[in-house]
Amino acid sequence: MADTETGVFSDTTTKQRLDLPWDVILWNDPVSLISLVVRVLRKLFSYDLATAERMTMSVHNDGKAVVWSGERDKAAAYCVALHGYALSATIQPSQ
Partner 1 sequence: MSEPFRRMPTGVAIDLPEPLRRWLAALATETAHDAVRVDNPVHRRLLGPINPTDDHDDPVKELQRQFGVEGSLGVLVETAHAEMISEDQAEEWIRALQLILAATAARMAILTDEDVAALDEKSTSTITTLQAIISLMIDALDS
Contact residues: partner 1, CB under 8 A: 29-33, 35-36, 39, 76, 79-80, 83-87, 89-92
Q: Which is nearer to partner 1, 4 or 15 (CB)?
A: 15
- With CA atoms as reference, report the closest residue to 90 among 23, 14, 18, 33: 23
The separation between the first and the last C-alpha atoms of the chain, rounded to the nearest angstrom, is 28
Q: Which is nearer to partner 1, 29 or 71 (CB)?
A: 29
- With CA atoms as reference, report the closest residue to 73 among 19, 2, 4, 27: 19
Residue type at 11? Answer: D
Minimum distance of partner 1 from residue 85's CB (angstroms)? 5
Minimum distance of partner 1 from residue 14's CB (angstroms)? 14
Conformational region of residue 82, where left means phi above 0, alpha means psi within -120 to 50, and beta covers everything else: alpha
Q: Which is nearer to partner 1, 40 or 55 (CB)?
A: 40
Minimum distance of partner 1 from residue 31's CB (angstroms)? 5
